[in-house]
Structure 1
Amino acid sequence: MLSEIAGITRVRMLYLQLLYRCNFSCKTCFHGQLLKDPAHYTLQEAQSLLAHFREHYRLDAVTLLGGEPLLYPHIVEISQYAKKLGLKVEICTNAHPGYRRTIEELAPTLDKMRVSLDGLEASHDLIRQRGSFRGALQMLTLARLNGVDIGATMVVTSRNLQEVVPLAQLLEGYGVRELKLHCLRLVGNALDNPDLAVTDTTAYAHLHRQIADADLTIQILYDSDLSPEPPGQACPNLVSGGWLDRIESDPAGGLTVSCKAVGRDVHAFRWDKTAARILYEPRENDEFQLGIPDVVYQTA
C-alpha cells in the first residue's frame, strides 16, 4: 500500500509506539492527554506489524517507544522477535531505576538503549520528575555493563539550551557515544508550557559554536531545525527514490511518515490490527496534503 500510493518501496527504521502509558508526564511530551489513553499493541499485533515491514519494505531496524516502552508487558518478547527477524533493535526510555531487571533481560537483544535527558539535573528533573536524572544515569551504567551500546536524546528548550555541551561532557564519562538533539514542537504537553520554546532562534548559532569549541568525543546529532542556517528545500512527498528513512506507528495503528507530523493526528496511512495490513485513509488535512516535511538530522 505504501508503494502504490506514496512510492515507498523500502523503510529503514520503524518507530514503534507500543503503548501511550507512561510513569512520567513530561512538560515536553508530544502525547499530552493521550498518556491516559489505553490504546496499545498486543504482542501478536506488534509481531505482525514488524513481519509485514520486514517482508514488504525490507525493514532494517526498529526503535521501541511509548509512552514508556519498559512498561509494555511483552517488551522482552517483542525485542527477541525483532532480532529473530534480523532487525537492529533500539529502545528510547526514561530509564527509571525501577526497570533495572527489565533492562537486564532486554540486554542480549538490544543494539542500543537511548535515554531521554533534558539538560543537567535541575533542568531535567523540573521537566520530568524529582530524582529522575540520577536514576537515568544509573541505568545508563547498568546497560553499558550489560554490553549495550548507549545513547541519549535531548529536547532543546529555552531552559536547557546552555546545558547541551555540559551534558555532553558529562555523558562522555558514562561511555555514551551519541547525543541526539531535538527541536521542541508545541504539541501535547508542550502546548501548556510555551515558555520552554526557544523564541530567539539566533541562539542556535551560539550553541553550534559551543559544540565546535568543546572538542567533544561524543557524536552530536541535531534536528536541522536547530541549525542557525535557513532550512533547506523540503521534499514534497517526504520520500527520496522510494527510500523512506523512518516511519512511526502510534498505539492505535496510525502510521506517520514525517516526524514533524507525529502527535498531530494527520496520518494518511493506518495499520489495521485485525486484518494485519496497511490501509490508506486520505484526509484534507493529512500530512501529504499539508506537505509536512520530515525532520532532517545532521552531525555537528
Structure 2
Amino acid sequence: MIRDVTGIEKIRMLYLQLLYRCNFECGTFCFHGERLSHKDAYSPAEAIDLLELVHRDYGTEAVTLLGGEPFLYRPLPEVIEHAKQKLGMRVEICTNGYRIERHLPALAGQIDLLRVSMEGLSHTNDELRKKGSFDAALRTLAAARDLGVPTGVTMTVNSRNISEVVPLACVLETYGVRQLKLHCLRLVGFAADHPELAITDTHAYERLRRQLESTTFAMEMVIDEDLSAEPAPMTSSPTAGSVVLDRIEADPRGALTMSCKAVGKDAHAFWYDKQRRIIEHRPTSGDEIALPVPNVVYSRA
C-alpha cells in the first residue's frame, strides 16, 4: 500500500514502538505525552508479523525497538531473536537504561547497538528524567561495554541542557560509547506545555557548534540540523520522488509515521492493521503526505 500511494520501494529501518508503558514520565518533554498511560502494545505475534511484512515487501534491513520502555516488554527477547536470527536484520534498542543490566547477558550477541537516552550531566539529567537515572544509565553503559555490546546515547537538546552536551560527551567517551545523537526538541507531547525548554537564543547553537568543532571525540557525533542558528533546509517530504525511505515509525496502535517531524502529531497517513496484517492508507487533510511534512536532516561532525 505504501508503494502504491508514494512510489517508495524500500524502507531501510523500522522504528517499532512496542508499547507506551514506561517506568519514567519525563513529564516536561516526552513526545508521547499522556499516551504513556495508554495500554496499547504489540503482542509478540503482531510485532513479528509487522517485521516480516516490511522485510518481505520493502526490503527492511534494520529495526529499532523502543517504547515507552522496551525492557518492560516481556516478550522482547522473542522479538529480537526473530528479527536477528530469522530475518537477519540489524537490531537496535532505544532505552532509558534504568536497571536493565540483568537482561543484557542473554541478549548481548543479538544487539547491534544499545542506545541509551540521557539528557545531560547528573543533576540536569535526573531533573528532566528521574532521580538516579544518570548513574543507572552509566551502569548500563559499563555493563554493555564489558559484554561487548556497542552503545550509543541520544540527547534531546533544550534550553536546560545545551551547555552540557560537550561535558556529557567527554564522560561518555570514558565508557566506550560509539555514537552521540543530538535531537532538536519539538514541542509535541508534554513539551507542548513547556515552551520554556525551547531554545530562543540561536547563538547558543553557534556556541555548541564551536565547542564540538574544537573538541576531538573518538565517538561519532550525529546532529539534527535544526540545531542551528539558520533553519535546516526544507527538504522534501519522505514521499517526494524518492524510492528509498530511511525509516518508518510504528506506534503501539499501529499508526505508521514516515517523517520524524510528524511523530507525536497524529499526522500519519498509513496504519498497520494488526488483525488483518496489512498496511492501510487512511488519508486526512492534515496527514504528512497532504501537508507535506519534510524529513529531519542529520549531519555527522
- TM-score bracket for this pair, using the shorter chain length: over 0.9
Question: 3-state SS of the aligned residue for 2:289?
Answer: helix
Indicate yes or no: 2:5 matched with 1:5: yes
User: Offset of 1:102 from its aligned partner?
Assistant: 1.8
Counterpart residue identity of residue 91, structure 2: V
Indicate yes or no: 2:199 matched with 1:202: no
User: Offset of 1:231 from its aligned partner?
Assistant: 2.2
**2 CA distance for matches of 1:251 and 1:45?**
10
5+ residue gaps, structure 2, are: none
Aligned to 2:58: 57
Aligned partners of 2:232 and 2:297 also within 8 Å: no
Aligned partners of 1:143 and 1:149 also within 8 Å: yes
User: Offset of 1:297 from its aligned partner?
Assistant: 1.0
Query: Relative to 1, partners in 2 of residues 1:62 and 1:236: Cα closer, same or farther, differing over 3 Å?
Result: closer
Aligned to 1:174: 175
Question: 3-state SS of the aligned residue for 2:261?
Answer: helix
Aligned partners of 2:101 and 2:139 also within 8 Å: no
Residue by residue, what CA displacement relative to the aligned partner does 1:127-170 show, whole Å, maximum 9, x if unpaired? 01111000100001111111110000000010110111111111
Query: Relative to 1, partners in 2 of residues 1:258 and 1:204: Cα closer, same or farther, differing over 3 Å?
Result: same
User: Offset of 1:240 from its aligned partner?
Assistant: 5.1
Indicate yes or no: 2:218 matched with 1:225: no
Indicate yes or no: 2:116 matched with 1:110: no
Using the size of structure 2 for normalisation, the TM-score is 0.97
Aligned to 1:88: 90
Identity across aligned pairs (percent)?
51
**2 CA distance for matches of 1:238 and 1:222?**
23
Query: Relative to 1, partners in 2 of residues 1:230 and 1:28: Cα closer, same or farther, differing over 3 Å?
Result: closer
Question: 3-state SS of the aligned residue for 1:114?
Answer: strand
Indicate yes or no: 2:84 matched with 1:79: no
Matches within 5 A, 1:153-172: 153-172=154-173
Aligned to 2:42: 41
Query: Relative to 1, partners in 2 of residues 1:286 and 1:79: Cα closer, same or farther, differing over 3 Å?
Result: same
User: Offset of 1:237 from its aligned partner?
Assistant: 4.5
Question: 3-state SS of the aligned residue for 1:23?
Answer: coil
Aligned to 1:185: 186
User: Offset of 1:63 from its aligned partner?
Assistant: 0.2
Indicate yes or no: 2:143 matched with 1:145: no
User: Offset of 1:193 from its aligned partner?
Assistant: 2.0
**2 CA distance for matches of 1:81 and 1:236?**
32
**2 CA distance for matches of 1:244 and 1:20?**
25
5+ residue gaps, structure 1, are: none
Query: Relative to 1, partners in 2 of residues 1:200 and 1:88: Cα closer, same or farther, differing over 3 Å?
Result: same
Indicate yes or no: 2:24 matched with 1:24: yes
User: Offset of 1:229 from its aligned partner?
Assistant: 3.7
Residue by residue, what CA displacement relative to the aligned partner does 1:1-45 show, whole Å, maximum 9, x if unpaired? 111101111011100000000000012210010000000000000
Using the size of structure 1 for normalisation, the TM-score is 0.97
Residue by residue, what CA displacement relative to the aligned partner does 1:195-235 show, whole Å, maximum 9, x if unpaired? 11111223111100000011222211011111234421321
RMSD over aligned Cα, in angstroms? 1.1
Question: 3-state SS of the aligned residue for 1:222?
Answer: strand
Counterpart residue identity of residue 91, structure 1: I
**1 CA distance for matches of 2:66 and 2:218?**
27
Counterpart residue identity of residue 73, structure 2: Y
Query: Relative to 1, partners in 2 of residues 1:240 and 1:136: Cα closer, same or farther, differing over 3 Å?
Result: farther
Aligned partners of 2:237 and 2:259 also within 8 Å: no
Aligned partners of 1:14 and 1:61 also within 8 Å: yes
User: Offset of 1:182 from its aligned partner?
Assistant: 0.3
Aligned partners of 2:61 and 2:89 also within 8 Å: yes
Aligned partners of 1:62 and 1:90 also within 8 Å: yes
Query: Relative to 1, partners in 2 of residues 1:57 and 1:292: Cα closer, same or farther, differing over 3 Å?
Result: same
Query: Relative to 1, partners in 2 of residues 1:64 and 1:201: Cα closer, same or farther, differing over 3 Å?
Result: same
Question: 3-state SS of the aligned residue for 2:293?
Answer: coil
Indicate yes or no: 2:136 matched with 1:135: yes
